[in-house]
């Protein structure tokens, strides 16, 4: 709501302010962080600074556009399934999805509590590492935040160590734009030239990641959004009638189409008689995906893939086709389901100038390797 002033700051924001950061405003995003194009925003879509006919990505498209437009050097967004990495790729920025539990979610409006993470965007790796280092760490206000001895990321970007990088072969298949395919392979060549070893790996269950995500996250969202009932805060419609009428009118008017779609998907998946078939099954698939990543990280240090199957698409292009929209997060969702950290690195461009992102995923709490690999590629950009 336009008039809503939060009564307290998120822990990540407090930590940045305490370190001397100046918060200049809040940016536009898809409603409740549900969307991949900014078009489901209550305020209307943000435009991509490179070309105003294109989406900046979503859901944290406003944060990405503000950094790409050089309004601010750094911004925070939130990730549930790619909402910072995908806008980073579409706007030519670095975007990090931290390990689940590394940045406190206190003060973050919950979308799907088991994958949500506050995530930074920046135009260079040092700034990205600095924001992350400032914001991360255990917070007693978020029981899922982890006490971990974070290294001095910005001071450790230079490394002479050679990494083993797995090329996730499932990502280089149908649906991937051929120019993006080439950009990612060029990045791989640059890394090999630098002495790193790149080997093919397979994560077969990632094929089910989107299906799994669109059961688990709407289920969590439908529970999280139950609090927006017109009683405690926010919009209230029809308060003179019965409580049920007031709830249903408030929620019918207050939520946008995409949010309602997720609530319906989620409540259906959790409803009696369907729980085992959908939510429980999806949770098992999620565990399979997580184990495949765990196994991969016993053989390689990092996994490389494209961040997105296409570069920034046109505003209006996918808004009437939810499935096509959901597929734009096909490569970012697996890391969100597993809790692993992942980064999008802006490497090269399409022949028409649109930015392209290369994604690296690391094992749990190995953000340092992500910053280091991104810093190596930064020299080649
Ligand atoms: N686009 C994905 C979704 O709509 C991811 C959103 C996000 O990461 N917040 O669920």
Cα distances (angstroms) measured from residue 343 to each of 42, 200, 212, 250, 281: 28, 19, 22, 38, 29
Token pair of 374, please?
């991104």
Q: How far is the CA of 86 from the centre of ligand 1 (A)?
A: 9
Angle formed at CA 65 by CA 62 and CA 66, multiple of 5 degrees: 85
What pLDDT sits at residue 3? 74
The pLDDT value recorded for residue 223 is: 96
Query: Is 170 inside a domain boundary?
Result: yes
Note the pLDDT of residue 1. 61
Task: Measure the CA–CA gap between 18 and 15, rounded to whole angstroms.
Answer: 5
126, 84, 134: which is closest to 104 by C-alpha? 134
Q: Which neighbouring-strand residues pair with 75?
A: 121
Whether residue 263 is found in the same domain as residue 284:
no
- Measured from the Cα of 325, ligand 1's closest atom is 1
328 CA distance to ligand 1 middle (Å)? 10
Q: Which atom of ligand 1 is nearest to the CA of 78?
A: 9
> In a 10 Å sphere around its CB, with 0-12 CB exposed, 13-18 middle and 19+ buried, how is residue 249 labelled?
middle
Residues lining ligand 1, Cβ inside 6 A: 33-36, 59, 78-83, 111, 217, 329
On whether both 185 and 329 belong to a single domain, the answer is: yes
CA separation for the pair 334, 361 (Å, rounded): 10
Q: Which pLDDT does position 159 carry in this prediction?
A: 87
Nearest CA to ligand 1 atom 10: 34
Q: Of the residues 28, 32, 35, which should be mutated to test ligand 1's pocket, given the most ligand atoms within 8 Å of the CB?
A: 35
- What is the pLDDT at residue 233? 77
User: 325 alpha carbon to ligand 1 midpoint, in Å?
Assistant: 10
Question: Is the residue at 212 inside a domain?
Answer: no
- Asked whether residue 317 is assigned to any structural domain, the reply reads yes
Question: What is the number of the ligand 1 atom nearest to the C-alpha of 115?
Answer: 8
- Residue 293 shares a structural domain with residue 258: no
Range of the domain at 245: 220-270
Q: Are residues 63 and 199 in the same domain?
A: yes
Closest atom of ligand 1 to 34 CA is: 4
Q: Residue 61, exposed/middle/buried by CB under 10 A (0-12, 13-18, 19+)? A: buried
Q: Is 241 exposed, middle or buried (0-12, 13-18, 19+ CB in 10 A)?
A: exposed
Atom of ligand 1 nearest to the CA of 326: 1
The parts of the chain modelled with pLDDT lower than 70 are 1
| Together in a domain, 62 and 48 | yes
> By the 8 A CB rule, do 21 and 75 touch?
no
C-alpha angle with apex 264: 263 to 269, nearest 5 degrees?
Answer: 100
Are 246 and 292 in a shared domain?
no
Question: 168 and 304: one domain?
Answer: yes
pLDDT at 381: 74
Q: Where is 284: in which H helix or E strand?
A: helix 281-296
pLDDT value of position 238: 84
What total number of domains does the chain contain?
A: 2
- In this predicted model, what pLDDT tens digit does every residue of 239-283 receive, in sequence order? 777 999 999 999 999 999 999 999 999 999 999 899 899 999 999
Note the pLDDT of residue 232: 83
Residue 33 CA to ligand 1 center (angstroms) comes to 6
User: How many A from CA of 163 to the centre of ligand 1?
Assistant: 30
What's the predicted TM-score (pTM) here?
A: 0.97
Among protein residues, the one whose CA lies closest to atom 5 of ligand 1? 81
DSSP 3-state assignment of 300?
coil
Give the model confidence (pLDDT) of 18-42 as tens digits: 999 999 999 999 999 999 999 999 9
- In angstroms, rounded to a whole number, what is the distance separating the alpha carbons of residues 315 and 234? 29
The reply to whether 373 and 258 lie within a common domain is no
């Amino acid at each position: 709501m336009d008039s809503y002033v939060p009564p307290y700051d998120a822990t990540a924001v407090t930590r940045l302010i305490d370190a001397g950061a100046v918060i200049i405003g809040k940016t536009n995003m898809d409603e409740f962080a549900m969307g991949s194009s900014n078009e489901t925003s209550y305020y209307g879509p943000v435009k991509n600074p490179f070309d105003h006919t294109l989406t900046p990505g979503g859901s944290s498209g406003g944060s990405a556009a503000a950094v790409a437009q050089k309004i601010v050097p750094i911004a925070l967004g939130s990730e549930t399934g790619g909402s910072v990495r995908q806008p980073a790729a579409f706007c030519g920025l670095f975007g990090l999805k931290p390990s689940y539990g590394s940045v406190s979610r206190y003060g973050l409006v919950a979308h799907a509590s088991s994958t949500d993470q506050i995530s930074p965007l920046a135009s260079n790796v040092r700034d990205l590492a600095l924001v992350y280092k400032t914001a991360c760490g255990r917070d007693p206000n978020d029981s899922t935040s982890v006490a971990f001895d974070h290294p001095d990321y910005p001071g450790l970007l230079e490394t002479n160590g050679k990494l083993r990088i797995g090329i996730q072969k499932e990502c280089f298949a149908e649906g991937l734009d051929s120019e993006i395919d080439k950009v990612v392979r060029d990045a791989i060549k640059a890394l090999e030239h630098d002495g790193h070893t790149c080997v093919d790996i397979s994560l077969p269950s990632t094929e089910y990641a989107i299906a799994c995500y669109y059961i688990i996250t709407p289920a969590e969202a439908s529970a999280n959004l139950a609090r927006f009932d017109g009683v405690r805060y926010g919009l209230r419609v029809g308060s003179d009638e019965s409580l049920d009428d007031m709830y249903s009118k408030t929620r019918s008017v207050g939520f946008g189409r995409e949010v309602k779609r997720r609530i319906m998907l989620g409540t259906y998946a959790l409803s009696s008689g369907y729980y085992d078939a959908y939510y429980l099954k999806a949770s098992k698939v999620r565990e399979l995906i997580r184990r495949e990543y765990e196994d991969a990280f016993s053989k390689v240090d990092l996994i490389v893939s494209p961040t997105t199957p296409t570069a920034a698409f046109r505003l209006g292009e996918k808004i009437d086709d939810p499935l096509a929209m959901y597929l734009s997060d096909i490569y970012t969702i697996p890391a969100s389901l597993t809790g692993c950290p992942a980064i999008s690195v802006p490497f090269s461009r399409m022949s028409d100038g649109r930015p392209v992102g290369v994604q690296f995923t690391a094992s749990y709490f190995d953000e340092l390797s992500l910053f280091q690999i991104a810093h190596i590629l930064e020299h080649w950009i």
